[in-house]
Structure 1
Amino acid sequence: MENSSVIPTGAPQGLDFFMVLSCGEQRAIGVLGLLVGAVALLENGLVLGLIAGAPALRRRPSFLFMGSLALADLLASVVYPVSFVDFHLFRRHDGRAASLLKLGGVTLAFSGSVGSLLLTAVDRYLCLHRAHRYRALLTRRRALLALLLLWSATVLVSFLPLMGWQCATGAWPPCSELFPYVSLSFQLCWTAAIVLELLVILAAYATILWKARLHTAAMAALQAAAAGPQRARVRLDLRLARTLSLVLLVLVGCWLPVLGFMLADVAAALGLAQRRAFAFCSMLCLVNSAVNPLLYALRCQEIRRALVARLRCLTGGGACCRRRRAGTPTPRESGPTQPEVSGTGISSYGLATPWGSQREVDKGGQEEVDRGGQEEVGRGGQEEVGRGGQQEEVGRGGQEEVDRGGREEVDRGGGAGGGDGEGV
């Protein structure tokens, strides 16, 4: 695609054009990338191990999406620091195929991460707005199909430059100033797709926050006639709003600078300071991969319980772990379990289900069931007792009246007859 004979000053003419960091900046960003990458690797590896080692979690769609997110962030924590440090710190000059292969791996990891966040947001939206049909709408089979489509599309799109959608470094203007051998048309399409996915995620979470606000207002109106549990539910709603606000803040803060530079690269030529700032801002995507396990997995009660159980297995010997592998429940798991409430997707992320924790919903539902059952039993029992008592009273009273009337008639008749006999 070298169709331009005149190359302006400053146009990318080799891989040295993209190595914009000074020696101090190279060391700083290298240390930062390796540290953040190591943290993200440990966190996401832990989440994947916990989900893979718990059959009860693997059967639920919410945890399948969580595992997909952890897998994508695990790939990002390995591929991105190695490629970035190898290019900027060690200044490795790879060929076209090797450069596009490394870039495709980075694109694959971050595209899979954003795609998994999109599925997570859709899962939460369905859990909230289709709570009664959630299990029918989002089955395990459909969740696996969605993940298959996501990763198939991600692999295809990520390696399109390697398969031919590229440009020779030095051609102007079709080439990117941020990535070697990348066409501006591909960069624009990929950026637009990521922006669209982020907008859908923001819309889903904004709807959840709006619903939480409405619910909080409705519950606040009932506080005058309600006791402590209603106030506790309002506090849970506020906690939900804070959690989702933190999720949106991290998502926008980590991706907006990078996407802004990529769109600016498509619209106009970038200077040296802008390309140097982009190198540092791109580390925010890796920071997002390190923060995602804290926001989505480790806040979840089921994940924390699985972690505590695993730690107890490791510290208490191998008998517990052998029972787990054999499918035998541990003493804590062998007791009665709470029934799952429809719409468990949100509770799987440490949020409300749909407006409280799983324990609160189970407790509230049990209270409602007990209260309703007691009312029904009490009302029905009183009605039965009342009816039986009335019948018994009526029967008893009627019998008394009959007996009393019969005796009176007999007495009267006997008295009259005796008199007549005596008269005769």
Structure 2
Amino acid sequence: METELEQDQEATTALYLNESTQNITSTDPSLCNSTQCYMVLTEPEKKAIGTICLLAGPVTFFENILVLLVIASSVTLRKRPSYLFISSLALADTFASCFFTISFLDFHLYSQNDGPNIYLFKLGGVTMAFTGSVGSLLLTTLDRYLCIYQASNYKVLLTRTRAKLAIVLLWCVTIIISFLPLMGWRCATNFNPPCSRLFPYVDHHYLAFWTGLQLVVLFLIIVAYALILWKANRHETAMGGPKSGRQSVKGQARMRMDIQLARTLSLILLILAVCWLPVLSFMIVDVTVTLTNKQQRMFAFCSTLCLVNSCVNPLLYALRCKELRGELFALLACCKACGKNTLGNTHSKRNENSSGIRKKSKDQAVTDSNPDTISEVVDKQ
């Protein structure tokens, strides 16, 4: 009799605990016990995001590697602080194309369940890439701001040595900040609050810190470009008065360049806002409330916009520059000449001399060409 009574009590207790667990799971969505809570994409969504990453990733890698090769092969461009900042941006976007694409597909599409250290190491690489990209955008923006507001002292204020120091400092700070979760600033409960619902093992406080830092950097970029646009508009208004002769022609040319500059900067600001504000908004919400699975899926799609931004950056900041385009054409011509030389060894010396003459003529043509970027304007002064 006592044995049957004990069995009945154990069965009742087990049933009660099972019902209690089900009630907690169903009524408290903030509780999570594995990384499966973060793998929320459906099969059609996986195919869509996989297509975006597999298209944008290689294109981004190729574009930025090409920019780095062109700048590295040109002595003229390597001496310019503006192109050093563009090199830093291209390097960061190259990292983004590799780290983000591999990590994102590995986690969301192939459901790779790594341990805390391996996952945080991968996430640190992605964070480093995007933090370095936004930081390099800030350096590029400050360079253009000095070109406009300190044109007479630009070459004194921003030397090549100072530009290199700024880049080294940027990357040192970026690496430290990006790998703070791996070094110990992580979620103590692994998955449950205060752990983020966007990234496993990531503490809310770290996410708030990183998001706030990116918002500050983006705010500085927007303010600097707004001041540049205001300066361009003022200059356009000032040049609108009646003039004659050579001064009128020069003023009209400068006014056209200011208008082109305003359009370029407006496009830059629009792309920055579209690519970064949705992601940062989700991160801010994640710090304050518990996100649902639908919101997690929306964040996954929005995060691909950061990769798209890295894909667009070379077109906005590098390939629009006449000097860099000239160096690119020269590099392609040299590669073509080298290919011909391998087919005709008897004419190798003559081909090398002609390539050198073409390269020299191109450099002179690029030097004498009209600048279409702010830094090129200052270098002509």
TM-score with structure 2 setting the length: 0.84
Mapped to 1, the partners of 2:291 and 2:130 lie a distance apart of 23
1:176/1:265 contact within 8 Å kept: yes
C-alpha spacing 1:246/1:187, structure 2 compared with 1 (3 Å): same
1:172-215 Cα distance to aligned partner (Å, 9 max, x none): 42110100100000000000001000111111111100000000
Question: Quick check: 1:316 aligned with 2:337?
Answer: yes
Mapped to 2, the partners of 1:251 and 1:77 lie a distance apart of 17
SS in 1 for 2:313: helix
The answer for the alignment partner of 2:147 in structure 1 is 127
TM-superposed deviation, 1:129: 0.8
1:104/1:162 contact within 8 Å kept: yes
Correspondence for 2:266 among 242, 245, 259: 245
C-alpha spacing 1:181/1:336, structure 2 compared with 1 (3 Å): closer
C-alpha spacing 1:50/1:9, structure 2 compared with 1 (3 Å): same
Amino acid at match of 2:171: W
The answer for the alignment partner of 1:151 in structure 2 is 171
The answer for the alignment partner of 1:289 in structure 2 is 310
Question: Quick check: 1:333 aligned with 2:360?
Answer: yes
Q: Which moved more, 1:280-289 or 1:233-242?
A: 233-242
TM-superposed deviation, 1:335: 8.4
Question: Quick check: 1:49 aligned with 2:69?
Answer: yes
Mapped to 2, the partners of 1:126 and 1:19 lie a distance apart of 46
Equivalences for residues 95-244 of structure 1 within 5 A: 95-170=115-190, 172-222=192-242, 227-244=248-265
1:109-161 Cα distance to aligned partner (Å, 9 max, x none): 00000000010011111111111111111111111111111000000010000
The answer for the alignment partner of 2:324 in structure 1 is 303
Mapped to 2, the partners of 1:48 and 1:353 lie a distance apart of 18
C-alpha spacing 1:153/1:352, structure 2 compared with 1 (3 Å): closer
Mapped to 1, the partners of 2:285 and 2:98 lie a distance apart of 28
Correspondence for 2:373 among 348, 351, 355: 351
1:12/1:170 contact within 8 Å kept: no
TM-superposed deviation, 1:316: 2.5
Q: Which moved more, 1:20-29 or 1:288-297?
A: 20-29
2:131/2:174 contact within 8 Å kept: yes
Amino acid at match of 2:46: Q
1:37/1:77 contact within 8 Å kept: yes
TM-superposed deviation, 1:169: 5.0
Q: Which moved more, 1:147-156 or 1:306-315?
A: 306-315
Question: Quick check: 1:72 aligned with 2:92?
Answer: yes
Report percent identity of matched pairs.
49
1:236/1:352 contact within 8 Å kept: no
Amino acid at match of 2:123: L
Segments of 5+ residues of structure 2 without an aligned counterpart are: 1-23, 342-347
Mapped to 2, the partners of 1:171 and 1:115 lie a distance apart of 30
1:66/1:120 contact within 8 Å kept: yes
Segments of 5+ residues of structure 1 without an aligned counterpart are: 1-5, 366-424
2:60/2:97 contact within 8 Å kept: yes
SS in 2 for 1:165: coil
2:190/2:200 contact within 8 Å kept: no
The answer for the alignment partner of 2:8 in structure 1 is none
TM-superposed deviation, 1:315: 2.0
Mapped to 2, the partners of 1:322 and 1:254 lie a distance apart of 50
TM-superposed deviation, 1:333: 1.8
C-alpha spacing 1:126/1:230, structure 2 compared with 1 (3 Å): closer
Mapped to 1, the partners of 2:142 and 2:164 lie a distance apart of 14
User: Aligned residues, how many?
Assistant: 347
SS in 1 for 2:194: coil
TM-score with structure 1 setting the length: 0.76
The answer for the alignment partner of 1:263 in structure 2 is 284
Mapped to 1, the partners of 2:154 and 2:129 lie a distance apart of 29
C-alpha spacing 1:64/1:211, structure 2 compared with 1 (3 Å): same
2:208/2:284 contact within 8 Å kept: yes
Mapped to 2, the partners of 1:289 and 1:144 lie a distance apart of 22
Amino acid at match of 1:276: R
Question: Quick check: 1:26 aligned with 2:53?
Answer: no
C-alpha spacing 1:220/1:37, structure 2 compared with 1 (3 Å): same
Mapped to 2, the partners of 1:322 and 1:25 lie a distance apart of 57
C-alpha spacing 1:69/1:303, structure 2 compared with 1 (3 Å): same
SS in 2 for 1:317: helix
Correspondence for 1:35 among 27, 52, 55: 55
1:14/1:169 contact within 8 Å kept: no
SS in 1 for 2:240: helix
Mapped to 2, the partners of 1:260 and 1:78 lie a distance apart of 25
Amino acid at match of 1:281: C
Mapped to 1, the partners of 2:294 and 2:77 lie a distance apart of 47
SS in 2 for 1:220: coil
Mapped to 1, the partners of 2:110 and 2:327 lie a distance apart of 41
